[in-house]
Amino acid sequence: MATHPDPAVLHPDVAARGSLAAALEAVAEELGIAVSMTSSGSLSHAAAESRLPYRKALLVSSWAVERRWSIRGEETFAGSALVEGDTDDLAQVAMAVHAWQDGAALGDIRHAAPFVRLPGRFEVPDHDPLRLTESEWQFMRTEAEEHGRPTYRALVEAAYAEPALRRLYPFTSHWTLRFSTTTRPSLTLIGPCLLAADADRGYRVSTGFTGTGLLAEAATAQEAVAVAVHHLPDHPGPVTLGVIRDVGHRGDFGA
């Protein structure tokens, strides 16, 4: 069974302060900025609330195997990530915490702490479902560009270029592109699933995200999208908010 180094050995400066929260506050003070952290005295975890009500607390966590820290900041409605990143520089973490806590724009957080990665979503304080759909498409396109699979990126771009699909809320299950008539956190599936195969094996359109219920195989992303549009119900209507009504069943299928 693998064992991890003692956090106090990996992070002696944090251990000397008694907690990751206290260490971040001390580093921030040295930088001439102020942060207010919440913590239970952990050497590995801390959080920082934002003054903006539509942002969750920024989570900071230490890596278990090397001297490094990760951050994740989410929006409050569905818990989708707005900022992520990891670094071995605790001062950079403090800068990111300060910017998040102070309500800086997402791009300004990235400017203040260059290790921060922006997944692509933008903030929608009023939870307008059409804007949330636009934000999720921006996330999907950013993710596809960073993923490194040309076939998958081509599929996302082809779907985005098709107005009938762009009006729907996109998400993925196991890298299969799917669509919903409601936003997260409670999705309502509509239409078929689109899968980009590896290399030059083309694309599949199916009723099931694992490839079951095969509807068609296509040589190009545009052909696959055309098949998907053909199998959409008529006039699905605008996307609405996916509000959870049954706590026992979230209806959420993707990451």
225 shares its domain with 193: yes
Please tell me whether residues 170 and 211 are part of one structural domain. yes
- The mean pLDDT of the chain is 92
In a domain, 249, yes or no: no
> 74: part of which helix (H) or strand (E)?
strand 69-74
Q: CA nearest 192: which of 204, 182, 174, 202?
A: 204
As a whole number, mean pLDDT of residues 133-141 equals: 98
Quick one: pLDDT at residue 1? 56
Count other Cβ atoms within 10 Å, centred on residue 223: 16
- 150, two tokens: 């040309």
210 part of a folded domain = yes
| Among 75-79, 113-117, 122-126, 244-248, the least confident range | 244-248
**Domain-terminating residue out of 112, 137, 169:** 112
Asked, as a colleague might, if the bond just before 185 is cis with ω within 30 of 0, I would say yes
Q: Is residue 255 pLDDT above 50, yes or no?
A: no
Q: Number of structural domains, the chain? A: 2
Predicted confidence (pLDDT) per residue in 233-253, tens digit: 988 879 999 987 654 444 455
Does the residue 124 lie in any domain? no
Tell me if 220 is assigned to some domain: yes
Q: Tell me, yes or no, whether 140 and 227 share the same domain.
A: yes
Give the pLDDT confidence of 221-234 residue by residue, as tens digits.
999 999 999 999 98
72 has pLDDT over 70: yes
The pLDDT assigned to 164 comes to: 95
Same domain, 141 and 199: yes
Domain carrying residue 203: 129-242
What pTM value is reported for the model? Answer: 0.89
Per the domain annotation, does 157 fall within a domain?
A: yes
- Assess contact for 239 and 166: CB atoms under 8 A: no
Is-contact 51 101, C-beta < 8 A? yes
Per-residue confidence at 94, pLDDT binned at 50, 70, 90? very high
| pLDDT for res 42 | 94
144 and 85 housed in the same domain: no
Do 76 and 13 have their domain in common?
Answer: yes
The pLDDT of residue 5: 80
Is residue 82 scored above 50 in pLDDT?
yes
Mean pLDDT for the stretch of residues 22-49:
95
Average pLDDT of the residues in 204-218: 90
pLDDT by residue (tens digit) across 151-197?
999 999 999 999 999 999 999 988 899 999 999 999 999 999 999 98
